[in-house]
Amino acid sequence: MKNKILYIIASVMLTGFTSCSDFLDRYPTEELSDGSFWKTKTDAEMAVSDIYRCLPTWDIDEDINSDNAVHGIKWANGNVSKGVYDPADQGWSGDYGYIRRCNLVLQKLEEMELSQSDKEPIAGQAYFFRGYIYFELIRKFGDVPYIDQPLKLTDVEDITRTSKDEIYTKIMADFDKAFSYLPEEWPATQWGRITKGAAMAMKARAALYFGNWETAATAAKSVMDLNKYDLYDKENTGKYQELFWEKTDGCEEIILAVQYNAPDKTNYLIGWECFPTKGWGGLNPTQSLVDAFEDSEGAPISKSKIYSEKNPFANRDPRLEVNVLHDGEEMYGVTIKVAPLKSSGSTGIAQHGDATATGYYQQKWLDPSIDPQSAGWEMGKDWVTIRYAEVLLTYAEAKNEVSPLDDSAFEAVNQVRRRVGMPELQKTDATKPTYCATQDDLRQRIRNEWRVEFALEGGKRQWDIRRWGIAKDVLNAPFLGIKYKMVDDAVNADPKDGGKVCVLYEGDNVKLAGSRYEDHNYIYPIPQSEIDLNPKLTQNPGY
C-alpha cells in the first residue's frame, strides 16, 4: 500500500486550505496572520503544505510545444504549439499568490515560539518553493517583479521588474537554504515532502538552464552522493516500461512527485492519452521524435548499418517501443491500424476526429493493467516532477561543458543507457558508432539522450531547445508524420476501401501544420492582464 503524504496534505487542505472549505470561510487567507492562527507547529505545517499545490500536475501535453508531438485531440492544441504567443493568454497571479504564502510562512516562523529543529524543516520547504516558483517565472518571462515579503495587494501596485540575473542569485540562495534545513528523508508516513535531494536536484535544473555549468554539476553530484536514489531496473531486466505505470509510484528513481490516491484523489491520464475510442486520443509523436531513437548498436539511424526504413521499429533503442504505439501493435485488445482507410477503424489517419495526425500514438503512459474506459479516467498514478535520470543527465551535460570528455560524464550518461540495454558511449574505439571524439560529439549525444529518455513527459523539450539555441531551427522546420502511399489493388483491398491499399513507410511523409518561432520567443510575453493593472510593468521586446 502506497504511503500518500500528498494525499494526507490534500485531506488537510480540504479541511483547512481550500477555497470551498469551512476553515477558509471562517478564516480567510488574508487573516491567517492574526491571533486566530500561527500558534502551533501544526499551523505552520498546514500553511506550508498548502504550497505543494503549486507543483505541476500531469502537464505531459506540454510536449506539443516542442518538435516531439502534436495533439490527437485537435481542440487541445494551444496557441504556443502553433507559434502564437499572445500576452492575453499569459498569467502569473497564481504564482505570486504562492510566493506570498512562502514569504508569509517564513515571516511567521520567525515570530513563533518554536524550537529551531521544528522551524527548519518547515522553512526549508518554503525556501524550496519560493526558489522553484521564481525559477519557473524567470525561465518563462525573463525579468519579473521580485517580492520577498508578504505584501498586501495595495503594496504591489507600483512594483517594477527585477533583473532575472539578480533573481537567479536569490533562487540559488533559496535552494541552498532549503538544502541546509531539510532532511534527507522524511518518515514513511510523510513520504512526498521536499527533501535535500529535491532541493539540490531543482537547483541543478535551474543552473543547467542558465548555463551555470559548474553549479549544475556540483548540485547534481551532491544528489548522487546522497546515495538515496537510483535508476529503476538499473540492471536492465526488461522492466523499464513499468517506470511509467502506477505500480512503480514511490520507487527509488523518484525524487519528487505529486501524489494521487484513487478514489479520493484521481486523474484521467489514460482516458485522455489513449488512442480513440478506448480513450480520447492523446499525444501523437512526430517523425522527428521517432527518428531520434538510435539503432540497437548505438548509431543514429542516419548512420546505421542495420536500420531499415521499411521496417523502422526493428533493431532500435528499446525506449522507442515504450514511447510510440505504431501500426500492427495490439493494445487493450485493439490492433492498431493507422492507414487512412475505413478498414483501419477509429485508429486510422483521418478516420476519427481524434485519430492520429502523425501515424503514431503515444504509448508511454498506457499501463496495460488499467482499463482506459473506466479506471483510466479515475487513476491514482503519481505525476513525477523529478526523477533520478534527470540528475544523471544534468551531471553528464554540465560536466562535459566544464571538463570535455570527462570520464564521469560518460559514466553518468551511460547509467541511463545501460538500464535499457543501449551500448555505452565511449572515447577509445573509433570503429564503433558510440565513439565520441570531441566535446561536441558527446554534447550532441547527451542532448539526444535527454530527448529520448524524457520524450512525452511534459515541457522539458521546449525548454531544452531554447537553452541549446536550436528552437528556431527545429520549430520552423517542417513537422512530419509517417510515410505512406496509396495504391490501386482491387484484389487485395478490403471491401470497405474502394480498391485501395496503403503501403506504410514508403512514399511521402504526412505534412503537419507545425509551429513557428522567432528569436524573441525565447521568453514569453508579460501577461497583458498584469500590465493593465500596473503600467510600470514593461512588455518583453517583440510583443
Reduced to 3 states (helix: H, G, I; strand: E, B; else coil), residue 477 is coil
φ and ψ at residue 385, rounded to 5 degrees: -85, -40
- Quote the cell numbers at residue 247: 505500480
pTM: 0.93
Q: In this predicted model, what pLDDT tens digit does every residue of 324-371 receive, in sequence order?
A: 999 999 999 999 999 999 999 999 999 999 999 999 999 999 999 999
- Quote the cell numbers at residue 169: 542569485
Tell me if the bond preceding 277 is cis, omega within 30° of 0.
yes
Task: Evaluate if residue 156 carries a pLDDT over 90.
Answer: no
Q: How far apart are CA 66 and CA 481, in angstroms?
A: 15
Task: Evaluate if residue 530 carries a pLDDT over 60.
Answer: yes
* Lowest-confidence segment of 102-106, 181-185, 186-190 by average pLDDT: 186-190
Q: In this predicted model, what pLDDT tens digit does every residue of 11-52 receive, in sequence order?
A: 333 223 332 222 223 334 444 555 679 999 999 999 999 999
- Quote the cell numbers at residue 165: 540575473
Domains by residue range for the chain, with CATH: 39-225+525-531 (1.25.40.390), 267-509 (1.25.40.390)
List the Cα angle 267/290/277 in 5-degree steps. Answer: 40
Q: How many C-beta atoms lie closer than 10 Å to residue 235's C-beta?
A: 9
Q: How far apart are CA 500 and CA 510, in angstroms?
A: 18
**Percent of the chain residues topping a pLDDT of 90:** 91
Mean pLDDT of 119-125: 98
φ and ψ at residue 491, rounded to 5 degrees: -70, -45
- φ/ψ bin of 77: left (φ > 0), alpha (ψ from -120 to 50), beta (otherwise): beta
Q: In this predicted model, what pLDDT tens digit does every residue of 270-293 receive, in sequence order?
A: 999 999 999 999 999 999 999 999
Q: State the number of CA atoms in the 13 A half-sphere of 511 facing the CB.
A: 4
